[in-house]
A and B are shown apart, each in its own frame.
Chain A
Amino acid sequence: MDLGLTETQELLKNAAREFLENECPEQHVRDMEEDEKGYSPVLWQQMAEQGWQGLLIPEAHGGAGFDFLDLSVLLEEFGRALVPGPFMSTVLGGAVPLMEIGSDAQQAEFLPKIASGDLIFTLALTEPSARFDESGVQAKATVSGNEVTFDGTKLFVSDANVADYMIVAGRSAKGVTLGIVATQQAGVTINQLQTIARDKQCEVVLKGAKGQLLGTDGGGWAALQPVLQKYTVAECAYMVGLSQMDFEIAVDYAKERVQFGRPIGSFQAIQHKCADMVTDVDGSRFIMYKAAWAISSGQPAADTQIAVNMAKAWCSEATRRVVAHGQQIHGGIGFTKDYKIQLFFRRQKRAELAFGDSDFHREAVAQQLGL
């Protein structure tokens, strides 16, 4: 029983923090909001040299062979630095499903290139129905041997604009079926959406788009469950780091900003907001790590599932409260584009909605508790 980091995790965290403070400063985050691609290939390569894209990937495939809990530690730092780009898409949406259900050949083909930073992946799951449950997958999948052809529209697909491959979920006669689909082909049309976080989410229109079958025909939904669990917790980790930084910025500001002849942080109304912020951030951190630990250490399936749902239900709301307080504490300056706090506010909303917001996960918790 211990809620502290291990030595390895400490090292990973410190290295990540130092690296990201240098290589992913606020200006980079801002630049990427306006950038067509939304990421820097130079930084992407540097991250691969740190071993991050391959952190989870087994050493045999060129990765570092760390576990999911370790990755969560790294992602907390990503949230703190608001790292833009296709990292989560590639790791959670690409490497993880390949590791879960990819054939030996598929793993050998793709995992080393993900680890080396040569391939970008994403997960094309949601559709215009914007649902995260099984019935949300309605795009047509036609299986023929090891090949699968997709027709339909996938929506809110992160980083499809720069991805080399997508893991696409479609529906065949046998049920949800996954495929590894190259984006550079005639049957794939990608349109970027403008979003609150100015990240790169896309509409992906598939017309006879072909790819390799991933897993079995009709076995896609079951295969996706561990992927969704990890992706959901990864979003929580990002929110934890993001809200921690938002909170730190707000507390610093409260110490410096003077009104009525004293720092606003000496006013109890501000102090109590700060106390609530740290409670929400810390609460988010541990409920997220509990879920990450449950996944990593292979706790019983039911315990893991409810831990994931609880984490996302809580983090989505708690970090929203944090960034709202962050804005309030800053007064008018917080509402300007030039000041940094709004970067956190806008990104929190993206993560809050991704893979189910509080309402979605709260309902799942209620069902599992038999309420």
Chain B
Amino acid sequence: MDWSDSPEQANFRKEVRAFIQKELPERYRSGEDSGEELSGGWQADRKSEDPTKRDVAMAWADSLAKRGWIAPAWPKEYGGAGLTTIEQFIYNQEMAEAAAPMPGGMGVSMLGPTLIVHGTDEQKAEHLPKILSGEVAWAQGYSEPGAGSDLASLQTRAVRDGDEYVINGQKIWTSGGHLADWLFALVRTDAEAPKHRGISFVMMDIKSQGLSLRPLINMGWKHHFNETFFEDVRIPVKNRIGEENRGWYVGMTLLDFERSGIAGAISYKRGQGQIKKFLNTDEGKSFKRVDANMVRLELADRAIETEVLFNFAFRIVSIQNRGMVPNYEASVNKMFGSEVHQRLARSETKLWGLYGNVWDPKSKYAPMGAQHVQDYVGSVPHTIFSGSSEIQRNVIATRGLGLPRG
């Protein structure tokens, strides 16, 4: 057991750190605009009305691209950096420490890997370079009004018509659909087959005829996700990845990505450090509640839980680095991490007493730019998406502990 870097790991860490030090644009150094999850961060900059924001976003992407660091986990032959899992981990750690935005989004994390494993040469040639250059951003169309946790019950239909599919139905919760250029989706191609066996994985231009998006405003009053409607949307059959009706399994594909989720733990810890600094300023003192002893101990607990989360992340990457695949451990990370996030936001908001309900980041009455109360709201869906906490516990109990399915 060893929590420290090997000499090679330390070297690689130095390299990443030096790169960030040199290349990270000034605008992202404050850490203010880069990680703002509710409004889209880098993805939003890329499409901003403000040309300087666009330029900064592209400049950062360019410096990363030169090293293959837009998609550090992809194999080199596809324009990635082919980093080992432990190198990816260090890369992700350092980027998170610097609060540097990670371009690429779902194209890099989900669509690219799927194409690399299941795509034809033609599909790869068409789409991978555009993901890497930042030319095309992707959104994910999986969930439907009637298919959430039980995703395989999805109903959006794709009917074959010559060398086209005709798609009808509805997706929901399409994050960043309004900022995206293309959509990848799971659609039903066989309505008679058992539910997992009648699904295909398809890609489409988000401006396709018959495809429309309607904004869904979230409880933080932000436009993050959308409803997506399909009315006789025609896409070429060659936009299907993998075999027809095998889409469920295509969608499950995982490249050799590190899966520690280390960025979360790092940002929680950084946030705790920022609070400590702020409390030492006059402004900070003016906000701190006088009866802070209870919340003080609560925050100590949150710091301890963050440490537990760090260790869970280290465990995942250790398992991967030993050439094994994490089982229930990944579910533990997702569940525990998202629940710590919510508790943390709650405790941090509590620190400010009544000031904790000021939402306007620019108000002089908003401690630390209202980030804690915003996070209190922003962390709500973290126990829902990517497998809810309940689903994770089901997975841990059945797949991990071998308890009989209910």
Chain A residues close to B by CB (< 8 Å):
1-6, 9, 69, 251, 254-255, 262-263, 265-268, 270-272, 274-276, 278-279, 282-283, 286-287, 289-290, 292-294, 297, 307, 310, 313-314, 362-363, 365-366, 369-371
Contacts and interface: CB of A to CB of B under 8 A. Distances in A.
B404 A265 contact: yes
Interface in B342-358: none
A265 B400 CA distance: 13
Contacts of B329: 282
Interchain residue pairs A-B with the least CB separation, the first 8? A286-B311, A271-B397, A275-B396, A275-B393, A366-B300, A265-B403, A3-B318, A283-B308
A78 B322 CA distance: 27
Instruction: Find the residue from B6, B304, B319 having the highest chain A CB count within 10 A.
Output: B304
B253 interface: no
Contacts of A369: 272, 276, 299-300, 303
A1 B318 contact: yes
A267 B319 CA distance: 30
B393 A1 contact: no
Interface of B: 1-6, 9, 86, 89, 272, 276, 296-297, 299-301, 303-305, 307-308, 311-312, 314-315, 317-319, 321-322, 328-329, 332, 335-336, 390, 392-394, 396-398, 400-406
Overall SS of chain A's interface: helix
Q: Which interface residue of B314, B398, B403 has the most chain A CB atoms within 10 A?
A: B403
Given A266-B403, A289-B1, 5 more contacts: A1-B89, A251-B403, A275-B394, A275-B397, A313-B304
Nearest to B9: A1
Chain B, interface SS category: helix
Contacts of A275: 335, 392-394, 396-397, 400-401
6 contacts: A3-B1, A255-B402, A275-B401, A282-B315, A286-B311, A287-B304
A279 B392 CA distance: 11
Nearest to A364: B300
Given A251-B403, A371-B299, A2 B397 contact: no
A266 B400 contact: no
Given A3-B314, A4-B1, A365-B304, A278 B336 contact: no
Contacts of A262: 404
Contacts of A2: 1-2, 318, 321-322
Contact of B296 (A265, A267, A286, A371): A371
A313 B302 CA distance: 11
Contacts of A263: 403-404
Contact of A6 (B1, B9, B300, B394): B1
Contacts of A314: 304-305, 307-308
A369 B6 CA distance: 28
A66 to B, nearest CB: 14
B308 A287 contact: yes
B297 A271 contact: no
Given A4-B318, A274-B397, A314-B308, A362 B300 contact: yes
User: Which of B300, B322, B390, B400: most chain A CB closer than 10 A?
Assistant: B300
A283 B393 contact: no
A254 B394 CA distance: 14
Contacts of B308: 283, 286-287, 314
Contacts of A282: 312, 315, 329, 332
A19 B119 CA distance: 54
B395 to A, nearest CB: 8
B400 A278 contact: yes
A266 B296 CA distance: 40
Interface centre among B89, B396, B397 (most CB of A within 10 A): B397
Contacts of B301: 313, 362
Given A1-B3, A5-B1, A278-B396, A371 B300 contact: yes
B312 A283 contact: yes
Contact of A293 (B3, B315, B321): B3
A284 B167 CA distance: 50
Which of A276, A283, A290, A370 has the most B CB atoms < 10 Å from its CB? A283
B1 A69 contact: yes
A310 B303 CA distance: 9
A3 B86 contact: no
A279 B406 contact: no
Contacts of B2: 1-2, 293, 297
A267 B397 CA distance: 10
B3 A290 contact: yes
B296 A272 contact: no
Contacts of B297: 362-363, 366
Nearest to A248: B401
Contacts of B307: 287, 290, 307, 310, 314
A317 to B, nearest CB: 9
Contacts of B390: 268, 272
Given A282-B312, A287-B311, A371-B296, A1 B403 contact: no
Given A263-B404, A290-B3, A362-B301, A278 B332 contact: yes
A267 B405 CA distance: 8
